[in-house]
């Protein structure tokens, strides 16, 4: 399975592993091996991590807390107390840590709990930093991705131009074509 990484932060990309939250939800983390593959594709580890069914369940629970907490910040509301407790508890755990090898190369490896802790900590870092002011929701009605708008003008509307932006522009073009045909 190929994942997209357009959100600008690992925690937001992770939250995007549940697609179409506003319509027919599509769970992408369907089995433990898929979480491991996501971590590799995200560049968080060099090789897969061993993930149990319980690790996957915890990861999904943390993912949902990440999403709800980010949405609460965007909506200027308080996050759910259970989410605050879960994210603080997870972020306090040991995280993925790169290692410097004797030959000067680096290695990125760890465990599933370290992966989840790193993602929870990434959200807390995002909330505590300047980038939180630039977090937006994708404007495509069927997309629920959150992303950091790093454009100079801060006027990005979609999670990605190659995906949602293109779909919206094609729909608008076709609507104009239909209107001019009548």
159-160-163 Cα angle (round to 5): 115
Domain residues of the chain, as ranges?
Answer: 10-181
Q: How many CA atoms lie within 13 A of 138 on its CB side?
A: 29
pLDDT in tens, 40-64: 999 999 999 999 999 999 999 999 9
Question: Is the model's pLDDT at 173 over the cut of 60?
Answer: no
Q: Which two tokens stand for residue 45?
A: 């580890």
Q: What is the pLDDT of residues 117-161, one digit of tens each?
A: 999 999 999 999 999 999 999 988 888 999 999 989 888 887 876
Q: What is the CA radius of gyration of the chain?
A: 18
Q: What is the DSSP letter of 78?
A: P
Supply the pTM of this predicted model: 0.89
Class of domain 10-181: mainly alpha
């Amino acid at each position: 399975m190929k994942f997209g990484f357009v959100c600008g932060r690992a925690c937001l990309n992770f939250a995007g592993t549940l697609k179409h939250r506003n319509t027919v939800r599509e769970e992408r983390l369907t089995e433990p091996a898929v979480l491991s593959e996501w971590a590799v594709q995200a560049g968080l580890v060099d090789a897969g991590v061993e993930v149990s069914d319980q690790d996957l369940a915890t990861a999904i629970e943390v993912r949902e807390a990440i999403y709800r907490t980010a949405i609460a910040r965007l909506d200027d509301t308080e996050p759910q107390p259970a989410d605050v407790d879960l994210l603080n508890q997870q972020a306090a755990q040991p995280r993925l840590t790169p290692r410097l090898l004797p030959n000067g190369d680096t290695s990125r490896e760890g465990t599933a709990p370290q992966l989840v802790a790193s993602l929870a900590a990434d959200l807390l870092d995002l909330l505590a930093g300047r980038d939180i002011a630039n977090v937006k929701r994708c404007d495509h009605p069927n997309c629920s991705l959150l992303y950091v708008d790093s454009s100079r003008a801060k006027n990005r509307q979609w999670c990605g131009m190659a995906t949602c932006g293109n779909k919206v522009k094609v729909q608008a073009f076709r609507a104009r074509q239909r209107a001019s045909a009548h």
